[in-house]
Structure 1
């Protein structure tokens, strides 16, 4: 099936190269982002065991009979079907045999597979030599092709529009939830369902993963707005700041420190650099300013078909950054009882450094 500039056959060929390099005999993908990357489609994940199995020489699909027609329309692979009254055991065994897989083979298993389906597969394979598909398919997904990057740019543009809709609607007295609704409405107008929005006003901003609630925004608040959503399956994610009136005391100083941390991380992000070096660059700025204990999360995460995927920019990540990787840079400072500031951009890593997807500046928006 076509997916970007690649067919499923081409992606399977690339996957087999990675399998050979990593001494993997079989890859098993469940419905989700890994399968979508391979086929350009995946069925809705439910309790019925479904796998795309890729061996060194052959590939097959295990699918419940109720989903078989849909699967055949999207995957030009042998389908081994099973009915509810029979269970997936025989279909799994037949598919594994078709792939030339058996006991002693090293399996790369989709880390998002349901435990019951995964256990059934392991029993049918008769092997416990198992790693995760993050090491095979995940490694390939981490490097985006030109079509994927174009899709992520389009998704980022919709996120920009949603952020502006929230800022334009924001007024003192509005609840966090009402601002989030304005953002979700703009996402929906642009064809995005399943968007997420965090709106955290005043002291709520000191909680990095605050659950948007009914607190009314007040004059003097700093407001964290973190949002994103999938456009044609490709995610977006960004965080910007607003202040109502003059904002809280000390806001400008802290915002400037976080912005300096963003710029330091951008300068450190280069092909061949370890992800932990980017985290260290951002963290070093914040620690030097005396706010190290208030930067309580990693500097970034990858983004693509999922909003959080490799690479992860943590203090310990040895992942070597490569051109085509797409990830967030999002340092923050969170002051309990006062306010929080996070500035987040998604970047595409190019040969000469990162290029930001959003067209919106990171400067704070003043309301009123």
Structure 2
């Protein structure tokens, strides 16, 4: 089936989601602004800061309704109609101009549903309560994991966007290294790095974590800390192209690295290479995590490896598969999945080193979407 006005790519996505809905017993989905709505409509929002909160309030929400049997519908505030019609691939758009009008539209679309309505875990609780009150006959269930599974395997178009995002983030790392010098602050460097990524085509900046000295053993926002000679300097950067993320981390030393810095960097690099070598289709995510942890444990740094080996990438900076001991370890890798491989050793009060690359699972192996060197660069 091909829905009216919908591209072949979006048709495939909707078909995949409807198949998962049938398996999971969902009669309809209520998709709010976020990665799933972009995936299933083409709509996206690039609002700064707290402006994001405005578009997921009950008074202004743009929601996609996907029935198991029937065509998808967008319910939008009248003030957003022109933008939605220009941006979305969904043909059926219902506009509301007030609470009663919106309630009537939702009852028209969902009033006959007697089964389960799927929502997402980022839907504000206030909206959940009001949705439940407006539609008391419906059982509401969190469909986030189901929707994440639908987005697990990336198409060639998605992978190409992630390659471009990786190139943008690599330029950010290079510019950051150009600006590193004694006495400059973390904030000053982060400003230049963000500008560089925007200038080279970043649609949005997910995070720009720039740290120096002992702060590299944590994950804190950039501060007024000043770079000192001998400091370990860490950049953990994530930006998007066409909605798709890259996430790259590289360490740098200001001046000559100490023997301890070189030793820890060598352990982290060996762990990352072992983990990357373990990535291939048909392998469980836990095998990749264990490959890195084994290296770090054998070298005596196990208690300084604070979390898992990585996470999935896509329309979210952190998504399935989560390569950690507490989640997704049994998930079998498939061609088209993209994930970070980022072993870390954090020595509290001293420094932390992480090397992070974005890895695509291919048939029989893997491909790195990042090309930046892994050496401990000296400035």
Give the alignment partner of residue 190 of structure 1, picking from 180, 194, 200: 200
Answer whether contact 2:203 2:243 (CA < 8 A) is retained: no
State the match for 1:203 in structure 2: 214
Cα deviations by residue, 1:19-67 (Å, 9 ceiling, x for unpaired): 1223322122101110101112235633123211111111322222222
Q: How many residues align?
A: 362
- TM-score of the superposition, structure 2-length normalised? 0.89
Cα deviations by residue, 1:129-179 (Å, 9 ceiling, x for unpaired): 443333332112111000000010011011111111111221122211222
Give the alignment partner of residue 366 of structure 1, picking from 349, 353, 378: 378
State the match for 2:48 in structure 1: none
State the match for 1:325 in structure 2: 337
State the match for 1:61 in structure 2: 74
User: Counterparts of 2:126 and 2:173 in 1: how far apart (Å)?
Assistant: 40
State the match for 1:102 in structure 2: 113
Answer whether contact 1:5 1:147 (CA < 8 A) is retained: no
State the match for 2:264 in structure 1: 254
What residue ranges of structure 1 are gaps of 5+ in the alignment?
none
State the match for 2:49 in structure 1: none
**Is 225-234 or 73-82 further displaced after alignment?**
73-82
Give the alignment partner of residue 79 of structure 1, picking from 93, 112, 128: 93
User: Counterparts of 1:123 and 1:78 in 2: how far apart (Å)?
Assistant: 25
- 1:217 and 2:217 matched: no
User: Counterparts of 2:270 and 2:337 in 1: how far apart (Å)?
Assistant: 23
User: Counterparts of 1:140 and 1:287 in 2: how far apart (Å)?
Assistant: 35
Counterparts of 1:111-126 in structure 2, within 5 Å, are: 111-126=121-136
Aligned to 2:246, the other structure's residue is in SS state coil
- 1:93 and 2:107 matched: yes
1:231 and 1:42, CA in 2 relative to 1: closer, same or farther beyond 3 A?
Answer: closer
Answer whether contact 1:92 1:121 (CA < 8 A) is retained: no
State the match for 1:70 in structure 2: 83
Give the alignment partner of residue 40 of structure 2, picking from 38, 41, 47: 38
What residue ranges of structure 2 are gaps of 5+ in the alignment?
46-51
Aligned to 1:236, the other structure's residue is in SS state strand
User: Counterparts of 1:87 and 1:347 in 2: how far apart (Å)?
Assistant: 47
Deviation at 1:265, TM superposition (A): 1.2
Cα RMSD for the two superposed structures? 2.3
- 1:245 and 2:247 matched: no
User: Counterparts of 2:256 and 2:8 in 1: how far apart (Å)?
Assistant: 51
User: Counterparts of 1:238 and 1:283 in 2: how far apart (Å)?
Assistant: 20
User: Counterparts of 1:213 and 1:93 in 2: how far apart (Å)?
Assistant: 50
Cα deviations by residue, 1:68-112 (Å, 9 ceiling, x for unpaired): 333334243433332235363222111214xxx523x12321222
State the match for 2:152 in structure 1: 142
Answer whether contact 1:262 1:282 (CA < 8 A) is retained: yes
State the match for 1:350 in structure 2: 362
1:275 and 1:123, CA in 2 relative to 1: closer, same or farther beyond 3 A?
Answer: farther
User: Counterparts of 2:4 and 2:307 in 1: how far apart (Å)?
Assistant: 38
Answer whether contact 2:285 2:333 (CA < 8 A) is retained: yes
Deviation at 1:352, TM superposition (A): 2.0
1:292 and 1:140, CA in 2 relative to 1: closer, same or farther beyond 3 A?
Answer: same
